[in-house]
Every structure is written in C-alpha cells, then in structure tokens.
C-alpha cells in the first residue's frame, strides 16, 4: 500500500493564480480531510469528506474548494491564491471519523 500520497511536494504561485493540490489514498478509507500547518499553530482543518460525494467545511475553508468523486481521491483547489495561503498542506484519511488518521507527506506552498 502506498498509503496517502500528495502532489506536488513543493509549489510556488503568484497572487491570483489557481491550482489544485492532489491527494489520493489506497486504503479504502471513507473519511478524508485537508489541513494546513503554519508556524506556531496547530494543524487546522480546511475541508473534510465522510465519503464519496459528501464534503463539508472545516475551521478555515475560505479560499479553498474540494470535491470527492471517488473514495480514493480528494483534491483541494485554491481558487485565487493569496499570500495568506502560504503554508504546508496535509491530506489525511481514516477508516472512520474517530479512527486513526494517516497523513500524507505534505505540500509546501508559497504564494508571492
């Protein structure tokens, strides 16, 4: 099993550009989520999904969109990048909402 994979590993965007961060898992997990990690702060939940076709907002959803067309994939879209979105982004999955979460390796995003 590859576990949770994320691409790209690094990305630099200019303000106003859009892009999609990819996340995939091969463990048949129903629950997937996106977090951002900023210096001096705990991970914060952006969006999550409890299964294919179902998504919901987390703590900091503004400026981000998600979709879940399959169990395996959960892409995160930045609509119009802003410097405040400079962060490290982690995707995670678990068999159920309160189960053990498996994190991807992260995407380091810089917006200039």
Partner 1 sequence: KNQVEQSPQSLIILEGKNCTLQCNYTVSPFSNLRWYKQDTGRGPVSLTIMTFSENTKSNGRYTATLDADTKQSSLHITASQLSDSASYICVVSRTGANNLFFGTGTRLTVIP
Among 4, 13, 78, 111, binds partner 1 (CB under 8 A): 4
Binding to partner 1 by CB under 8 A, coded x per residue (else -) over 56-95, reads: x-xx------------------------------x-x---
Cβ proximity to partner 1, 27 vs 50, nearer residue: 50
Please identify, using beta-carbon distances, which residue of 13 and 34 lies nearer to partner 1: 34
Residue 39 backbone zone (phi > 0: left; psi -120 to 50: alpha; other: beta): beta
| β 107-111/10-13 pair status | parallel
Cα–Cα distances in Å, from 11 out to 66, 106, 107, 110? 18, 11, 7, 6
Contact window for partner 1 (CB under 8 A) among 17-25, 63-71, 72-80, 96-104: 96-104
Among 71, 76, 106, 111, binds partner 1 (CB under 8 A): 106
Altogether, the residues listed in the chain come to a count of: 112
Identify whether the C-beta of residue 84 lies closer than 8 Å to the C-beta of residue 36. no
Which residues lie near partner 1 (CB under 8 A)? 4, 40-45, 48, 50, 56, 58-59, 90, 92, 97-98, 100-106
């Amino acid at each position: 099993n590859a576990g949770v994979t994320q691409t790209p590993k690094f990305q630099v965007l200019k303000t106003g550009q859009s892009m999609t961060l990819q996340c995939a898992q091969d463990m048949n997990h129903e629950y997937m989520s996106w977090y951002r990690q900023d210096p001096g702060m705990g991970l914060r939940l952006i969006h999550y999904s409890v299964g294919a076709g179902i998504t919901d907002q987390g703590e900091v959803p503004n400026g981000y969109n998600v979709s879940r067309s399959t169990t395996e994939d959960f892409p995160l879209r930045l609509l119009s990048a802003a410097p405040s979105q400079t962060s490290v982004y982690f995707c995670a999955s678990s068999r159920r909402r309160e189960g053990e979460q498996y994190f991807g390796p992260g995407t380091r995003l810089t917006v200039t």
